[in-house]
Structure 1
Amino acid sequence: MFQLLPRHLSRCSRLSTSKMPKATLSSLPVSGLFGIVKPSGPTSMSVVHDLQQLIARSKLFVTEEKLEEIKSRKASKNKRRGKGAREAIKVGQGGTLDPLADGVLGVGKGTKKLSDFLNCTKEYQTTCLLGCETDTYDSEGARVRLAPWQHVTEDAVRAALAQFTGEISQTPPIFSALKMDGKPLYEYAREGKPLPRPIEARKVTVHSLELVEWKGKDHDFRWPEKSFSAEEKKAMETALKGVDESVEIKDDVEAPALDQVPTAFVLKMTVSGGTYVRSIVHDLAHAVGSAGHVVTLSRTRQGRFAINPAGEGDYGCIPWETIEKATSEIDSDTKERDEEGWTKWEREVIANMEVIEGPKPSGSKAT
């Protein structure tokens, strides 16, 4: 979801759609939350950047004065026009997704309202590939360790799910941006410097966890081609030995196993904020006597914003293709608009936006 808060607006009460007049220039801009379906590949911040360009040119979120300022910059071909456009309104994210992941992305200004969506319940669907552990716990990383997987059955995985349901203690990956004594954990692992103490475990809640598809060998996923060198394994081992002398990083499978098709399965889960889906997959693979990593990850819900809205208070999300098309036409004077002057992306936002400050535009949901 996106939270968009023009700087000049004061806080005011929410109005229901039935009591609210159609949006006019005098009733705009507004502040609100809406959802975007992030594609796999781009970073969350690159998505934010693209949206900033659109938002800064929309009467839905920017004052008429600001819009005229941007037009004048365009006319004068000011080279800093793009920077000025981004400064017209602040946009930050409320729930980063890894580049690999797709699904509902939360973005907005850092307010109490946005923080609700950092800590809200989230739903994910992820594919686990057995037999290989990576440094990042997903397919974007490099192979660190291989382990047997042929013995793992569907029943064994189902039986192990109970260990990861409810309130659990979860240790974040060493290859994460979390800091220890001011230094990111991944730097200890890369530099071969011992961790000064164990990585602090965190309490998270897994409300539900289910196996929704057993792919077995019927898939096209393969382990990453890139693998850790002997030196990189030694550095990571040294970092971990700082808190556990028994740590040893080595393959449990001979090299010819690389030519075989590893087992894959799909999990669906509902979790509290702060939960590492990658860690659940990593730890589950260990629980069944193997190794594993994430090859697909989709966030299907963040709070009341969902790809497939189901409840009365749910909001849908804007397809990325809609935003992408609008971005490609950003400086065009021939953009298609409806009878009220809205472009397609603006109309979709209005239909799926929760207004936080300002009158609700015609066509938006009541809260």
Structure 2
Amino acid sequence: MLLHGLLAINKPRGKTSTEVLNTLRQFFRNRTNSIVNKKKLKLGHGGTLDPLATGVLVIGINDGCKELYKYIGCNKVYSATGLFGFATDSYDSCGKLSKIAPVKHITKEMLSFTLQKFTGDILQKPPLYSALRMEGRRLYDYARKGIALPKSIEPRAVKIHSLSLLDFTTSHDYKPPTTTDTMLLEAIKTSEKNSLLNNPIFKIHVECGKGTYIRSLIHDIGIELNSAAHVVELVRLQQGDLQLHRDTVELDECSDLNTIFNAMEKIKLKHNCVATPM
């Protein structure tokens, strides 16, 4: 059976989008008949999700890859949690600690006011650890290999349709990012002595247009408040017309072809993409 259509996966935390594709590809090779092996299986996704992130990842299977452009350029909805006081090189907790900043001055009222500045049409500088290309090479390639950028990363116009504060609290279990920098380590030890590791976290709900980096948004909010911040949790709740849980399946459920086919059939009902076996 050779499937054509779209599948929405709830991407697990810790996996890259490419690793999800590879998992699906291996499953199809192991479970389907020889037709799949004789014909090249086409898999693609409609927009990368960070390894840290969970949530909606739209997968194109064979002819379904032709429909992915609709999801690359569509609006998206996220829930994101940021930790104040620490910046990282990747703008999330997967990166290395790059800065420690004060947090005592930050209030919920200040944060709510600041969020208004990031609503609407804004300029946003993409993070260095991103899949954007510069002179033929991915930005994350420069970062991982320690190669200097040939030019600075230019800010891009993005649109934040709505941005709301869901929570602001010091009651949490998040830890500071890791570092091997001696000065930063000493600063963390000093913070521990002064009980400053109870830095506040904030949770936001974001509805945004294409090309928006939530990591950059959290990072920039920290700067605007004369502090620092990085992402510790990120969930893509919706991508286009596909919603988390309502339209998605778990990756470990994809060991069953019927589950995949039924999930693709649900998406088929929303629009005219094909999800029929051949």
TM-score (norm 2): 0.84
CA distance in 1, matches of 2:151, 2:49: 28
Change (3 A) 1:359 1:220: closer
Q: Contact conserved, 1:91 with 1:107, CA < 8 A, in 2?
A: yes
Amino-acid identity (%): 33
Which of 36, 40, 49 is the aligned partner of 1:97? 49
CA distance in 1, matches of 2:130, 2:262: 38
Which of 340, 354, 357 is the aligned partner of 2:274? 357
CA distance in 1, matches of 2:161, 2:70: 18
1:289-336: CA deviation from partner (whole Å, max 9, x where unpaired): 110000000001010110155xxxxxx11123412xx27xxxxxxxxx
CA distance in 2, matches of 1:308, 1:191: 39
Structure 1 position 57, deviation (Å): 6.6
CA distance in 2, matches of 1:182, 1:98: 21
Does residue 107 (structure 1) correspond to residue 59 (structure 2)? The answer is yes
2:132 matched residue in structure 1: 178
Structure 1 position 147, deviation (Å): 0.3
Change (3 A) 1:95 1:182: closer
2:114 aligned partner, one-letter code: A
Alignment length, in residue pairs? 269
1:256 aligned partner, one-letter code: T
CA distance in 1, matches of 2:248, 2:138: 33
Rg larger in structure: 1
Structure 1 position 105, deviation (Å): 0.4
Structure 1 position 184, deviation (Å): 4.6
Structure 1 position 219, deviation (Å): 0.7
Does residue 256 (structure 1) correspond to residue 229 (structure 2)? The answer is no
Does residue 52 (structure 1) correspond to residue 32 (structure 2)? The answer is no
Which of 229, 249, 253 is the aligned partner of 1:318? 249
Q: Contact conserved, 2:7 with 2:263, CA < 8 A, in 1?
A: no
Within-5 A mapping of 1:82-231:
84=37, 88-108=40-60, 111-185=65-139, 187=142, 191=146, 193=148, 195-214=149-168, 216-228=169-181
1:338 matched residue in structure 2: none
Which stretches in structure 1 are left out of the alignment for 5+ residues?
1-27, 60-66, 71-83, 231-249, 310-315, 328-341, 362-367
TM-score (norm 1): 0.65
CA distance in 2, matches of 1:158, 1:298: 21
What SS does the aligned partner of 1:357 have? coil
CA distance in 2, matches of 1:319, 1:192: 37
2:6 matched residue in structure 1: 33
1:77-100: CA deviation from partner (whole Å, max 9, x where unpaired): xxxxxxx48x64210111111111
Structure 1 position 357, deviation (Å): 3.3
2:92 aligned partner, one-letter code: D
What SS does the aligned partner of 1:104 have? strand
Q: Contact conserved, 1:34 with 1:353, CA < 8 A, in 2?
A: no
CA distance in 2, matches of 1:37, 1:221: 23
CA distance in 2, matches of 1:183, 1:68: 36
Q: Contact conserved, 2:7 with 2:248, CA < 8 A, in 1?
A: yes
CA distance in 2, matches of 1:143, 1:289: 17
Structure 1 position 29, deviation (Å): 5.0
Within-5 A mapping of 1:231-250:
none
1:256-295: CA deviation from partner (whole Å, max 9, x where unpaired): 1145211101011011111100000000011111100000
1:43 matched residue in structure 2: 16
Within-5 A mapping of 1:300-315:
300-307=237-244, 309=246
The structure richer in strand per residue is: 2
2:203 matched residue in structure 1: 266
Within-5 A mapping of 1:284-303:
284-303=221-240
